[in-house]
Structure 1
Amino acid sequence: MQVVQSRKALKIHVALVFVLIVSLLLPALASTSEAAASNAPQPVYITSNSYVKLENADVMPSSKGRTASFTVTFYNGSNAPINLQDYWFRLSSVSGTKYIATLVESDKSKKSVPAKSSITLTYYSEVPSNVSLSDLVLRVVKFDFSVAGYERTLGKFNFSSSYNNAVKVNGYKSVKLNNTNINIRVNKATISKGTDNNIINLELAMRNTGNYETLLSNMGFFIQASNGSMYQMKTSTDSSQGLLLRPQILEKIKLTITLPKAVSTNGQKLIVSQSLGEAAASVTLPVAKFNLSLSANNTSATTTEYEYVKDDYTYKVKVDSLQRYTWMGQDNLITKLTITNKSSKSAPVPAITGSFYLGDNAEIQTKKVPLDSQLSIASNGSVTAYYSATVPTTTNLAELKVKLFEKEGETNRELAALRTTAVSTPKSIALGDTNNLNDLGVKLGVKVTNVKLLQGSANNLLAIYVDATNNQDFATATTKLLGYIETATGSKYNTTLIKSDTVIGPSKKEQVILTAEVPKNADLKGAALVLGVGYNDEGITKANETPAKGFINATSYALPEADQTTNDFSKIKIGAYTVNIDNIITYLNDVKADIDLNGQVSRDFAYEAFSSKKFTVVIEDESINSVMVQVPIELEGTTGQYVWKLGNNYNNIVQDLSSKSISQTIQLNVYEEINGYKTKLVSRTIRWSPYLNWANPDVK
């Protein structure tokens, strides 16, 4: 009895030792917990210290129905090699239908397993399209001539319906490819939801854990929908020549696919595959499967940003601003998109376009404002693009969005619908301050210098004089500046630009004039000039005769009060000129007016272009609206009747007044005229006298 108990105790001790040995061996061989399949079959022991472990099992759709594949690892824990020709695998359905399990070509040269090592083998079989993994049984057999049929079953792998070999989200899997262990994980998974399609972008990380580089050929990447359908993804780089994985370096591969919205995004998986064999004999087998958690990529029109992946580059597209300006009876909408290269190297400018929509389907005709084309974007650098559209002034923009499209050949593929920002308020420039423009290829200093109110028969003309300074380091024509006058009560009056086409040197100025017709009773106190850079279908406008469609990046300039009429003839400002009339004698000889005019003209040479070059000296009786003498003077002109040059000038004007009503108390006025409107610069009440110099303020 004691002997029997001792023998039982001995057996128990031996069993415990065996269990301990196995427990020590298994952790070194099992895949990481990140990659472990749920409800995976247990290893099949072929000897007391050697076993066959199932690494991966899957069924994929194929042109012949479905392809079942099985990757197994033979571990040899003994001190002698294992002859693999003694072992084989038999595949059948649960009901007994047999299928042929074929060893992949690259594994056929593996004949034995050295002692204390392992070898991985992959088998595949074509099965009917209605067969799933849970319908199959994979048996491990050993050739044994002592049994009937010469095959002895050592164990089998059954697959429950809950078997899942997909790597969980944020996990990784180590696979053996080209006899090299490769760690694979999904770094990022995003979805962009468009109106008709969804765009899925993935970033796959692969690390070669070996010591030598390996070239992976014929790799494939598929999205598997919850119903089992497979959709091949595009890779960021050309993988037709294989993927080269350098030792210990984390290589990132960007994948993308556009799927109809009818394809459910729930339960989608990424399948990494490899095609083995040549041409018609090739077979595509899964390497790894990953569960996906797709995060929305800013496409629900609730955000202003979108991440765009193209080839080996990642971009961020952002709606930076929305501008709305009244122009020619309608409102112009302008959005500014900033495209930033988030890659670690220079990237080409992506073929992305934008379009305004009200809601999901009401497209507003939108055009890109052509700017100087940039060929590439530096790492972390940006480019800007402007898109414009025209809408009625009553349009409600509550549902306005900007849809992004990728141009593919002749078609545009929707990428995202982005929320627009609130309509931007033009920044304000105080009286006397300069606004330095530095965008859209424009470098221009803009400063309002003075305002004149010119009188007309039905309306008045408000003329705003602006210094435009060329801040480029080369000579160029200044940009057309367009906009409107906005009164304190919100009334708007479009402006017309008066400028030259003269090329302006660096740091030099052009005086431009913005004019607006306003009602005679318009209250202009507190009015501002809203002024932006003109554009049309060719880009930013410069030439004077080039019509503009609108303006961009407007600024609100505070306006000084309009210049008042003075009685000082010594500092008359006409364009870039200062005119000092120092002698005015008006003599009436019977019915002839005899007038002497003396004056000096100086010029500010910081101005290389300006349009104001004329003024008119008038003798009139304002009480009866009678003009007796009118002397138009052109500054530095070549064709005028009276031309004053720089320096001293003198004219003696004799005019016959016999056909006019001659008054004795008269006004001596100096006018400037623009487009038929005129403003009185200087005025004095005088009388006819051969002795009095009315330019002298002391003369009464």
Structure 2
Amino acid sequence: MILKIKRVTTIMLMLCMALSFLSPASIHVNAANTRPSIDKQIIKLSAKSSLTLKDAQFLSQERGRVLSFTVTVTNNENKELNLIDYWIRVKDSANKSYSVNLITADKSKTKVAANSSLNLTYFGIVDSTAKISDYKFEIIKWDFSVSGYERKLGTIQYPASSTEKVQAFTAKAMLYDTTKVRSALKQYLVSQDDDKAFVTMNFLVENVGSKTTNLSKMKFFVQTENQMTYDVDTGDLSKVIIQPSERKIITLHSTIPIESAKKGINLTAAVADEANNVTIPLGVFIVPAKIGAQTSSAQKIGGAFSYNDYSIKLNNIQRTPSGNGDVLLAELQITNKSNTFKEIPNLSGVFTVNGVDMSASQTTSTILDQIALLGPGETSSTVIRTEIPFSTSIKEIVLAVAEKKTGEETAKTIYHFSDNHVNIIPSYNIDQTYVISNLGRRADVKLLRATYLEGDRYENIYFEVEYQNKENRPVSPAALAGYVQNQSQATIPVTFTEYKEKIMPTGKVLLTAWAKVPKTYTTDYVTFTIGQSISSPGTGEGTTALTSIAQPFAYKVVKNDQSTTKTMLKDIGVQNYVFSMNNVLASFNEVQVGNDYMTNGVKLTFDYDLQKLGDYENESNDHKILVEVVNLDSKMAQFSKEFSINDPVKADAEDNLKVGTKLSKSIVETTPEVFIKFESRVKYRVNVYHVYKDEKFLMATKEITWFYIDN
């Protein structure tokens, strides 16, 4: 028995010695860890009434660091409970006391009805560094029968491991206005540059009360771990009305200095107590984003981010010429990731080039697709464009993507992309198809002909483009635009013919395009870049592609004998027709006068073949063939005639060329001074032009001897 006592005594002595080596702080922490959870700490006010505490949280503001908390008083008595005899004292770990007051909305609440509960919210200015577990909430009752007239009914203190912050994606109930809501941080996006972090958050608010409410009184702030507080852009919350049991997502935006944010950030929901000149926090939600000062988290070109029910990808940023400057054009691809139809978000953006913000007023955005709603899994393209000086060398480019919601006056930034270059537009052979994949205007575009044509002062680089509708409904074609560049990067705009009608499913139209280039323009080969014009409503006459070309596609067009003005009068392509001249003869024009013949001028006679290649919906009378005769002497006299091409209205008219072979036409010049003009008749030249309105393109030319038939 003595041994047992000695052994127990020894163990107790060893335990006491071990405890003596522990610091008071360690002992305090161990004790704090044994505290029950805050909801189990119930203070009795009377035999059948009690008090509990919840929702203690901080918000730093101009007056200092505000601590707010809510107590629930439950009265199970059969009579009302008068609260005037009770009050709360807040102390920190150093036993320093802090004054707390009721918020304005609760000051009139002095009694708790029988068999009911009542919530009271308090606030006070407290220490700027203490944790929530450092504070003790003493529940006091006035009692004039004890010394000091105060009787402490109990103390509530959060366990050491407690935090007032709510994890992302975890719901928290909050008392708001005259109802109760459940809220959670459902999604967050963080991008950054060298100095700032850009945070976009989707915040769920569910009305779990019995009254309709709007969020006009709710405020939001981003707090950092070093107690810095930053405003949050919420948009117009007065328009967010939530019925009982209804859930709504609101999108919030904030910009924070990197140095302040790199230790962690939280989103705080709050309401203003204007009478007390204080903002009362309702809930603090952790934003689990890693923000660093050294590296950028912004996606590069080709990257994507998730936003609500969409995936948004920066497909490319391309640079194209534009008059005296260049255009930067970013293509965003928006994919609907939900199982329901969605509106296409109204996205815009602002470029920052080499640290300089481009003008927001000169930056525009355009949706390329012709649809009202985006189906599940479908993708839409939005292009954002701005102009920059052509001499700018890009070393860094940032695109801030923003969304403007219906009813809101301004767009809110939701993400940043950053890179150190723009995309190069690759070149393809002319047999490649340019595919337009935008919903509502899907099409295949083919370059059928590219020809270098001679001119007097300029040369024309001439193109014929086939546009085929790949939609299963009649649709208007996308507006096309383009430009040519030679090896020296000298850039000339391309003009397209117009077609304003709808094209039938699988139907085709043939478009003519051309660029007037100086005689000195080096054209061993050119790059012909074609794309969708987003600066004009249609494939318009005179449309300059240099303004904006979306989804550009480049062809390398080599100059050779087959791609220049023909030196024979055979196989001349004009639109979808091939024209050939045979048995060409220039001679005198003779008319019969009685039994004699009289020469009254000169004429050109020829046989011709006209072949039609394919059917197009835009066989227009605006395209014609001009045959011109130029006498090769010092006077260079000429005469000509313009012919319609297979015009069914004109049929057998003299100025209409019909489809067929071995047909004949003549051109006669009988002006009074004809013999003076054509005094010398040795050689002449026949020129064949494709005429479109005021434009003439020299398709073929040949020198021939007078009075000899040329085959």
Contact 2:497/2:512, CA 8 A, preserved across alignment: yes
Cα distance change of structure 1 residues 282 and 345 upon mapping to structure 2, 3 Å threshold? farther
Partner of 1:357: 352
Offset of residue 490 of structure 1: 4.5
Partner of 1:367: 363
Offset of residue 445 of structure 1: 3.9
The amino acid that maps onto 2:620 is A
Partner of 2:326: 331
Cα distance change of structure 1 residues 484 and 41 upon mapping to structure 2, 3 Å threshold? same
The CA distance in 2 between the partners of 1:111 and 1:143, in whole Å, is 21
Q: Secondary structure at the match of 1:423?
A: coil
Offset of residue 396 of structure 1: 0.6
Partner of 1:116: none
The CA distance in 1 between the partners of 2:656 and 2:239, in whole Å, is 78
Partner of 2:658: 646
2:634 is the counterpart of 1:616: no
Contact 1:628/1:661, CA 8 A, preserved across alignment: no
Aligned residues between the structures: 626
Partner of 2:689: 672
The CA distance in 1 between the partners of 2:351 and 2:135, in whole Å, is 55
Partner of 1:562: 563
User: 1:331-371, CA deviations, whole angstroms, 9 ceiling, x for partnerless residues?
Assistant: 33222233455667655555543222223334257331555
2:390 is the counterpart of 1:390: no
Offset of residue 460 of structure 1: 3.6
Offset of residue 465 of structure 1: 3.0
The CA distance in 2 between the partners of 1:475 and 1:146, in whole Å, is 92
The CA distance in 1 between the partners of 2:656 and 2:233, in whole Å, is 78
2:531 is the counterpart of 1:532: yes
User: 1:353-407, CA deviations, whole angstroms, 9 ceiling, x for partnerless residues?
Assistant: 3222223334257331555786665566554332333333331111222234566
User: 1:566-616, CA deviations, whole angstroms, 9 ceiling, x for partnerless residues?
Assistant: 6565x4444444445454455569997565434454555535137542232
Q: Secondary structure at the match of 2:164?
A: coil
Partner of 1:499: 497
TM-score of the aligned structures, taking structure 2 as reference length: 0.66
The CA distance in 2 between the partners of 1:450 and 1:237, in whole Å, is 58
Offset of residue 618 of structure 1: 3.5
Contact 1:349/1:376, CA 8 A, preserved across alignment: yes
2:425 is the counterpart of 1:426: yes
Q: How does 1:3-82 map to 2 (within 5 A)?
A: 55=54, 57=56, 69-71=69-71
2:450 is the counterpart of 1:455: no
The CA distance in 2 between the partners of 1:627 and 1:282, in whole Å, is 94
The CA distance in 1 between the partners of 2:627 and 2:427, in whole Å, is 36
The CA distance in 2 between the partners of 1:687 and 1:423, in whole Å, is 60
The CA distance in 2 between the partners of 1:370 and 1:509, in whole Å, is 25
Contact 1:91/1:136, CA 8 A, preserved across alignment: no
**468-477 or 318-327: which moved more?**
468-477
TM-score of the aligned structures, taking structure 1 as reference length: 0.67
The CA distance in 2 between the partners of 1:90 and 1:564, in whole Å, is 98
Q: Secondary structure at the match of 1:597?
A: strand
The amino acid that maps onto 1:395 is T
1:320 to 290, 309, 315: 315
The amino acid that maps onto 1:680 is A
Contact 2:168/2:288, CA 8 A, preserved across alignment: no
Offset of residue 643 of structure 1: 1.9
Offset of residue 627 of structure 1: 5.4
Cα distance change of structure 1 residues 376 and 281 upon mapping to structure 2, 3 Å threshold? farther
Cα distance change of structure 1 residues 650 and 324 upon mapping to structure 2, 3 Å threshold? same
Cα distance change of structure 1 residues 314 and 627 upon mapping to structure 2, 3 Å threshold? same
Aligned residues: percent identity? 14
User: 1:510-552, CA deviations, whole angstroms, 9 ceiling, x for partnerless residues?
Assistant: 341323425468452x54422223343xx44433155555333
Q: How does 1:178-217 map to 2 (within 5 A)?
A: 186-191=185-190, 200-203=199-202
Q: How does 1:215-234 map to 2 (within 5 A)?
A: 220=218, 222-223=220-221, 224=223, 226-227=226-227, 234=234
The amino acid that maps onto 2:396 is E
2:430 is the counterpart of 1:403: no
Cα distance change of structure 1 residues 651 and 120 upon mapping to structure 2, 3 Å threshold? same
Partner of 1:515: 515
Partner of 2:482: 482
**83-92 or 438-447: which moved more?**
83-92
The CA distance in 2 between the partners of 1:496 and 1:431, in whole Å, is 17
**599-608 or 331-340: which moved more?**
599-608
Cα distance change of structure 1 residues 193 and 376 upon mapping to structure 2, 3 Å threshold? farther
User: 1:21-76, CA deviations, whole angstroms, 9 ceiling, x for partnerless residues?
Assistant: xxxxxxxxxxx99x957xx997768999x997655545778999967545368899
Contact 1:341/1:378, CA 8 A, preserved across alignment: yes
Contact 1:448/1:559, CA 8 A, preserved across alignment: no
Q: How does 1:226-375 map to 2 (within 5 A)?
A: 226-227=226-227, 234=234, 244-245=244-245, 253-254=249-250, 256=252, 258=254, 261=257, 264-265=260-261, 266=263, 268-271=265-268, 288-295=283-290, 301-303=298-300, 317-340=312-335, 350=345, 352-364=347-359, 366-368=362-364, 370=366
Contact 1:317/1:338, CA 8 A, preserved across alignment: yes
- Unaligned segments of structure 1, at least 5 residues: 6-31, 113-118, 696-700
The amino acid that maps onto 1:672 is Y
Contact 1:43/1:52, CA 8 A, preserved across alignment: yes
The CA distance in 1 between the partners of 2:280 and 2:101, in whole Å, is 16
The CA distance in 2 between the partners of 1:62 and 1:595, in whole Å, is 95
The CA distance in 2 between the partners of 1:673 and 1:59, in whole Å, is 79
TM-align CA RMSD: 5.9
Offset of residue 410 of structure 1: 6.2
Cα distance change of structure 1 residues 512 and 288 upon mapping to structure 2, 3 Å threshold? closer
2:89 is the counterpart of 1:91: yes
Partner of 2:707: 688
Partner of 2:22: none
User: 1:257-302, CA deviations, whole angstroms, 9 ceiling, x for partnerless residues?
Assistant: 54675994456544556899xx979998766544443455998655
**Greater Rg, structure 1 or structure 2?**
1
Partner of 2:27: none
Contact 2:351/2:358, CA 8 A, preserved across alignment: yes
Cα distance change of structure 1 residues 295 and 456 upon mapping to structure 2, 3 Å threshold? same
- Unaligned segments of structure 2, at least 5 residues: 6-32, 591-597
The CA distance in 1 between the partners of 2:521 and 2:238, in whole Å, is 71
The CA distance in 2 between the partners of 1:471 and 1:67, in whole Å, is 64
Partner of 1:632: 641
Offset of residue 446 of structure 1: 2.9
Q: Secondary structure at the match of 1:608?
A: coil
